[in-house]
Amino acid sequence: MGDEESEKTLLKEIRSWIEDHRLPDDPSVTEGAFEKCLNLISQLKDENESLWFMLDEMKSSQWSSQHTEMLQKSINEHLGQLRMMQGRKADA
């Protein structure tokens, strides 16, 4: 059984305990289920922190109008240099 399917089964089982207001008779079953839940919560917390970090990085790397102006200026300068080189080549 895959991890996702196993997690769904675990959550269904815990929900049934809550709905029935009854825990399993074997404490090791309850402890095992709660341990798996804690591991899952820890994993989800790590993934959440990673996603927030990526979103912050994406936000800080977005283009601003200043970036656009600088890029346009650089392109225009390079085009000007290419035109001058082309003009010199034609004169030769």
Choice between 3 and 50, residue whose per-residue pLDDT is larger:
50
| Close Cβ partners of 10 (under 8 Å, ≥ 6 residues apart) | 33, 36, 37
pLDDT tops 90 at residue 58: no
pTM for this entry: 0.59
Report the chain's mean pLDDT, rounded to a whole number: 89
Predicted confidence (pLDDT) at residue 91 exceeds the cutoff of 80: no
Gap between the Cα atoms of 6 and 9, Å rounded: 5
Q: 1 pLDDT exceeds 60?
A: no
Q: Cβ distance 10 to 36 under 8 Å?
A: yes
CB 24 within 8 A of CB 17: yes
